[in-house]
Amino acid sequence: MISGLNLSCDMEHLALLYLATLQAICHGTRHILRELNAKGYRIKYIFLTGGLGKNSVFVREIADITNSTILIPAELDAVTLGSAILGAVASGVYPSFLDAMSSMNKIGHSVTPTSDSSILKFHDRKFQVFLAMYEDQMKYRRLMK
């Protein structure tokens, strides 16, 4: 759900819309983590694979918004790596998937959340907006049933 769109199409507004889209994905992830942690999980790390792991803006935003350490694997192409792991186990190079995964997959680097309280407070406020919009969306869905 997007709020506050206007007819502007200059580069600054497109950049802000792009950033807002990335942040919305991150706030959705924060919402999921909050619900899982409320059920007894204690998730502190996010293992990020695929194309978004190459996007430094997304990686920074998800670390800050979820207050999680982001682990970026050395090999970002999870599909190719997964296929290689399957092949290695099937051919007997490794006796188990766990052995193959432990040997073939390593952390390339990690990104920790900011300690800047003004950024954290900003994202806390923005998360409250996200939750209000989410609740509104659920209300609209119920109305349309």
Residue 18: per-residue pLDDT: 93
**Could you read off the pLDDT of 89-143 as tens digits, one per residue?**
999 999 999 999 999 999 999 999 999 999 999 999 999 999 999 999 999 999 9
Residue 102: per-residue pLDDT: 92
**Could you read off the pLDDT of 61-85 as tens digits, one per residue?**
999 999 999 999 998 888 899 999 9
**Could you read off the pLDDT of 22-72 as tens digits, one per residue?**
999 999 999 999 999 999 999 999 999 888 999 999 999 999 999 999 999
Q: What is this structure's pTM?
A: 0.84
Cβ contact 101:86 at 8 Å: no
DSSP-based three-state secondary structure for 33: helix
